[in-house]
Amino acid sequence: MLIATPPLRMRLQCLSLSLALLAGGGMGVTAAAPTQAEVAPAAGSNSSAPQASTGFQRGLAEHLKRQGAVLYGAWWCPHCTHQRELFGLETIELLPYVECDKDDAGRQTCQKAQVKGYPTWDLKGERRVGVLSLEELTTWSGYSPR
């Protein structure tokens, strides 16, 4: 059975989120701007490419996975890409990520989870929509680096 693909609706929600964040709020979304340390490229590097992961980023990703956190996103969503890239190049694959729009299985998983916008984080039944800084994820998940 084919499931109706929601890309247009979800793209509009992603666009609405973009506009709300640019306007400084709206939609009840709280997403802090990433810190300089999270987005600053290493000296002499290409700023458009994801940077190498730090031990902190790797530790946080592993902690989120152990805590049962899930990041729902879509391949075409720039906010989802940005969220994942905050963890650095090597750590992206460690994230508990569900792709919601590449195949029917992903679409069904996200429909069943009632994902309404991208990116969406789910941690122990609590939802956060929008890009979350590493600081926000650390606090929310109770991560305490060694």
d(CA 91, CA 61): 7
- In-domain check, residue 128: yes
- In-domain check, residue 120: yes
Tens-digit pLDDT string for the chain (146 aa):
333 444 444 444 554 444 344 344 433 333 333 443 443 444 344 456 678 999 999 999 999 999 999 999 999 999 999 999 999 999 999 999 999 999 999 999 999 999 999 999 999 999 999 999 999 999 999 999 87
- In-domain check, residue 31: no
**Domain span at 125:** 58-146
- In-domain check, residue 30: no
- In-domain check, residue 70: yes
- In-domain check, residue 117: yes
Residue 51 contacts residue 86 (beta carbons within 8 Å): no
Q: What is the CATH number of the domain that holds 72?
A: 3.40.30.10
- In-domain check, residue 23: no
Structure tokens at 94: 């460690």
d(CA 5, CA 102): 10
d(CA 105, CA 124): 22
Q: What is the phi/psi pair of residue 51, to 5°?
A: -90, 165
The answer to whether the Cα torsion of 110, 116, 120, 126 is positive or negative is: negative
- In-domain check, residue 15: no
Spatial strand order in the sheet of 97-99? 97-99, 70-73, 120-123, 126-129
Report the domain count for the chain: 1
Structure tokens at 96: 């508990």
Q: Give the chain's largest Cα–Cα span.
A: 51
Question: Which pTM was predicted?
Answer: 0.69
